[in-house]
Amino acid sequence: MTDRGRGVLPVINRRKGDAMERLRSGCKINIFLRLLGRRPDGYHELFSLFLPLNAPFDEMIIRDGRKEGIHLSCDVPGIDAGNNTVTKAWRLYGEASGFAPALEVRLVKGVPHGAGLGGGSADAAEMLLYLERRSPCPLGRERLHSLAARIGADVPFFLEKEPCLVEGIGERLTPLPPESPWLAPLAGVWGVLLCPAVHVNTAWAYAAWDESHPGAASGGSSARGCGDALTDAAGTDKNHRSVFFPPLRVENDFESVVFTRWPELARLKALLLREGGFAAGMSGSGSSLFGLFRDAETARGFMARLRELDGSCVAYGPFSPLGPAE
């Protein structure tokens, strides 16, 4: 695993002899997200480009517990303290390794829930990595990824902490080095992330997409094959540079159903494009949106005007999709 410092931030407080760690877990955006159909087991095949972001982020304060088990509290109401991605990661790791230390965990949420940013998945991945670091008998990368996939489709990505092509139901990852042609169109680009006060339930989004695409059953074809077909259709080359680029084609198959239900999200996307963004899209199943700008100055100008244009959402950035946020 590599850690280029963009996705899940490193430990920010670990003192020798102190049984407390303060960890940050970031989030992700989907530059594109294609839904390829529903499998017989109910899961959906997808093809996507995931990029990790440092902000917004969640924070976990972990201390050695006084009682057996994991005891989690959260600053946001509605989080099930006994059954969530963090406690599930702790349980699965303990079952697989025999290492299940008593822990007290305080979760401070910064990543909005129901925003399509993968905050809960990032938290689970950070717990797995924390336990792996402490375990007297680490499981290794392959087994850790297997556990992550059992927690949620996005969790394996947050173990990698680098841009990835994502296939299958989210468990098949292809990490992309900086020189990858998939990332070349993002060089020099700056982004702004908008988080409106809208919660989109992922299960609802999938069900709504299924209803609007009757008969869209996955035939088990690989997403890579889908990418090749798109490249051929576009008449571009075979090196994967132009499946979606150039021009940079940001698209998300969830937008059709989510924007119908929440037209204010479509208006925010239009705002990003009208105010200087050359591309904009929704992340995951929503509700967050991002805009891509040719330079940081234009992105900063948009953020400065955002309060006057639309004060209903929180903005993050400007950030480089291939580097840390400013």
The residues assigned a catalytic role are 28, 154
Evaluate the CA torsion angle 172, 249, 218, 206 in order and state its sign. Answer: positive
In the chain, beta strands by DSSP E: 13-14, 20-38, 44-64, 70-74, 103-108, 164-167, 172-175, 190-196, 251-252, 279-282, 289-293, 313-319
Contact call for residues 275 and 268 (beta carbons, < 8 A):
no
Q: In whole angstroms, what is the distance from residue 235 CA to residue 218 CA?
A: 25
Running DSSP on this structure, what letter comes out for residue 321?
T
Residue type (1 letter), 200:
V
Running DSSP on this structure, what letter comes out for residue 128?
H
DSSP per-residue string spanning 37-106: EE-TTS-EEEEEEEEEEEEEEEEEEEEE-SSSSEEEEESSTT--TTSSHHHHHHHHHHHHHS----EEEE
What are the φ and ψ backbone dihedral angles of 229, each rounded to 5 degrees? Answer: -65, -40
